[in-house]
Each structure stands twice: as structure tokens, then as C-alpha cells.
Structure 1
């Protein structure tokens, strides 16, 4: 209930109109319930859960999680997708000089965003070209669940259908590297809902917390089959570890540390190269996502700096720098990583962030479970 209240409070601060009518409030309350359930399943950035699905097994969900600051969250410190749809809508309305995204559409997208990762680890809903789409992939299962729950709550069928369609827009095509906006969906309203929610799913590319999210994403990816389940292969006693412990394990295992560095290179390339599906957003308000939310170039440079820091510093130390940049509070103490501030805003940001760091401690919630021994590397180190 505490998380539900914090989610509702975040919406009240950001877009209070959505709590004024029963139609929109119902969708916001459904969204808050979905965020609760995602958090129960997958944890939060500081306290992720080990989870399995029909495709992936024993994955530490350091990125696809909830709480108040995870990928599926609405809190002000995070760059969660539910918060993102409201931020994009507000920015579009300001750019257009009028309300082009109305309250019901905003609430519909909030519910979809909150539910879009309700099911994880069951495979992609969009398979590579030449294969039939998987009817039981993550987004399809999440969309089916959200639609059914909307109908049970008395949401009109057309709105419930739009929630499901909007969730499917967040599916990522591994071949085209694009998201799944259906431009044949019919109405301009449906296309805008998809574009906005798909953009919110990747708004971290432009956000202050984005580089920290990249580190969390790389950690999670090293647990996946497509990366050889490197975490599971190189650690033992990992059933109760949380994010800092995982980063420590990565830092002391050469194979994991090398893969982590490679992952950061890939994240920088993705941040730089992704193209938002925002043609209808531009038509409606005269600006695209990168116009409305400048910050991507700085984040790309930050990721490159983080990668360079790994030559002399551990993944855990770099993570602490990223947390500081994202606005998290660390315990007292300092240990500069000796970064040359140079002339760029990104380098100056990193230099500033390191002055308040302690390499020994970091504020984190107590994990749900704890072990007497942390993760131990099985790679001969």
C-alpha cells in the first residue's frame, strides 16, 4: 500500500487532473496496482529479484523492475515509463500551446506504461524476420493481462483495447532495432498513444538517470541466455545478492568484467543510434522527442567516460559515480576517481559526482533476503 500511495502522490504532483474524474482515476489506480505487482515480482533498482520465465532462468532483474525509481515506476528520481508518458504529454501540450493530449489519453497511456513489463523472461513478442510472431512473448502476455484487468475494473472496451495496443508498441524488434508502433492502427489517437509510450520506454536515453540505467541494463543482460548466462556461470551463492554485490562479483571476475565493459560500449552505441518513432508527435506539436528532451548527447559522452573509467576502477565504483549523477544520496566520505574534467559538460558532471563518493559505502535499502557470504567468483580469481 505504501508504494501505491507514493505512485498516486507522484501522479498528483505531476498531473493532478488525472485524479479528478472517475474514468481517469480508475486507470491511474490500475497503473499503481500494476507497478506494485511488477515490484513484487522483479524488485527495484537497489533490491532486484532473481526471477525465471518460460525462456530465461535465474535472471537478476536489475533493470526491468519497479519500486519508486525503476523502469516501471512514477517517482521523480527515476525515469520510469509511467512517469515518462506524463512528461512527454505535458511537453507536447506546452510545445503546441494547447492541450493536444487529453486527460483520458494520458491516463490510458499511464496504465499501459505501468503494465508494459508486467510479464518478463518469456521471450520477445517480435521474433526475427522470417519467423512467426510469438503469441506468448512478454509484451503480448502483458497486454492480455492489462486488457483483462481493465475490463474487470469497468474500463470501456475501446479504452482497454487501446491499453493493449499501446503495450505492444513497446515490443522491440531484434532485426530492425525499432519498436512496434502500428501505423495502420486507424485513429490518430491510437498512433499517438503508441508513439508516446514507445518513446517513454526509451526516454532514459535523454534523462539524468539514463547512464545509471545503462549500467543496470548491462548487469541484467549478463544473466541472459543470449549472453551465455555469464553471471550464473561465473558466480556461486548468488541467490540473495543485490545490485552492489553483483557489481562486486563482476569486478573480480575477468570474464564478467570484460563483458561488462563491452556492454557499456554497446549501450553508448544504442543511445547514440536509436531513432524515436515520433513522426506524429512532430506533426501535432512541432517538435520531436529529442527536441522536447535534449540530453542524449551528454548521456552518450557519460557512457563513454564510464567505459574509460573501467580501465582503472571497478564497476562498483563507476556505478556509485552514476548514482551520484542521477541524484541519489551517498553516505558521507569522498574518494575522487581522479577524472580529468576537460571541457565537456559530461566530464565536469562526472568530476563533480566523484567528490561526494565513498568507495566503501552506499545508501541502499536492505535486501529482502541476505546471505552470510556474498557472490564468489568461480573463474579462478
Structure 2
């Protein structure tokens, strides 16, 4: 008996409703699965009537929106890393998993899948954590400190105490695991994590209970490195990213690092006057944005242009006589070299009787003298090296 096709009233509307609630990434995955099915139908000859155009092509699916930075606020991290809270974990293995996630930036699947023999040492005896990059399906290693190494060795002792013959995993499931062959599963760890967060009363800046995922510690690990001025290539290697594009997502927050250096450095204009930027003033963000745009679009070999980009420059190439030119200690070598070349030009022009050229460059020379003199004052001030 063959059943007739059944039509469901309102099905298109329900499908649209489901699609509207579905995340773009999930939609893209489902479409990819359907595309694979259509390709297999043609490849295996399951239906010769399926046209070659029955497929999804690049551009048919909406691009996945770029995710916002998911790092955890340091306010939350201070509570997470507090020793009294870490000690609330019901078992030392769970505590160690958190430390590995925070200090190594591993994905949860890589951390829970660590092999029992996961420690490596280089020629100087420095420890490394060897793990499987579950996304790229390859082995990788990340440097660790001696303290974390000692915690891992202690976990190995606990495992051997329960399974003297040895097992393959560093974090075996504690229950219903007589042979020790089953590692802790991500869903189980996430449940333990939620219970631990509740027991510690970890909350955000607004007093709300903190909600976090293990993967956010990977973002936090990377952002902390970027803000400590670790080069992006080094961060890429530590995260075992395939491309710089993957790591570049974390580099977007480095404005706070650049801003810190900018606030600490001494800036002077062509008159040798200090240009201050109050980090707590009402115009701090606006000043910072203007300066960043100027640095990005009008960087000069010996300083930065402080003119808003909406305005045209009336000084052409005469930046050293421009009232909105700003420089600092990082350009001192270039300023000294330009000072030397300006003196040479004045001497040559004087010998040739080029009075107008001499007059123009004497103003440049006077400005250079003032700027260099003001910057060199800070070089003699204690702590100036740290500020630059």
C-alpha cells in the first residue's frame, strides 16, 4: 500500500519561523550538509534526473557575522583565579583543567583529551604541554611554567594511584570507568563548571551571576598576551592558529595597549610645548580617536599629524613649522638627523647667498632645537625609559 503525500497546512510559515530563530552559523552548516547529499546523489548515480544545477554555490549562503570579542572581563577573572575559589572545586582534577584552560588557552576538547604523558622539555629543561589540536587534527605544544608542571605531575600520581597499570588519559572520567579508558566529557565538565560558579558566587561588574563558557578562557588568554605587547606571530603560534587572520581577531583590542604607551610618552609640538592627553578627562575618548586616525592616515617620518582628517593642510610639506605637528621620544633619532641636515642646508645656502632659503630653514632649525631640547629633558628624568 502506497501512501499519498501528506500536505501540512502552514508548513512554509513554520519553516520561516524556524529559520528566523536559527543562527547563521547553524544555517550554513545545514546547507553544507544538504549540498554534500546532493553531490553524493550525482556521484553515486542514485537519481539520474537530478540536474547539475541542483547545488549551492559560493555566495548562496549568507556570510557568518563576525563575532564580538568574547574575552572575560578582568573583574570576573580575578574571582575565577582567586585561590579560595579554585579550592572550592570538589576534585583537584577539575581545578587543574581550569588552570590549563586559563594559562594555556587550549580548547576544552584539547584539554580534556590530554594524554597521560603530555609533558615535554626542551634542551634547557623548560616544560611544555603537548596536546592535540582537535580543530586542526594535529599535535601542538605550548610552554608552561614549573608550577603548572608540578600540578600536572601530581595529577599523574593520582591517576597511577587509582590505575597502577596506567591509562591513556590525564583526565579519566571519575565514575563508571573501571578501566580508565574514558576521559571526562565536555558536557560533564560544563555541568561541573556551572555548579562551581554558583558555589563561588562569581558575578560581573553589575552584580549579576557570571555566565561563561570554557572557550572564553581561550579568548582571554590571547587578549592578555596581546595587551602585554606579545607580537601577534607569537600569539598565533601559542594558539596554534593556521593563519594570521584567525589571530587578528584578538589584535583588535590592542588600542588600549597603544593608548597606554601614548599616555606615558612625552609629546611636544613645534614650539617645544608639551601636548597632554588626560586619560580621565571628558574628551579623552574623542582625543584618542582623533589621534589614532591621524596616526593611521597621516603618519610622518618624525612624528604625527594632529590635524583632524576633515581639514586640509595649509603647510604642505613644512610639517616642522606646522602648529598641529606633534612628535615624541620615539622620533628623537630622526629629529636629530633632520637637525643635522638642516644645519648643512643653511650653511650651503648662506654660501650661495640664498637668503630666503636660509630664513625658512632657520625657523625649522629653531623648532627642531626646541623639540629636541624638551624631549631630551625627559631622557634625563628617572623612569623616562619606562614611559617610552
TM bin, normalised by shorter chain, reads under 0.3
Determine which structure has the larger strand proportion and give its number: 2
TM-score relative to the length of structure 1: 0.26
The structure with the larger Rg is: 2
TM-score relative to the length of structure 2: 0.26
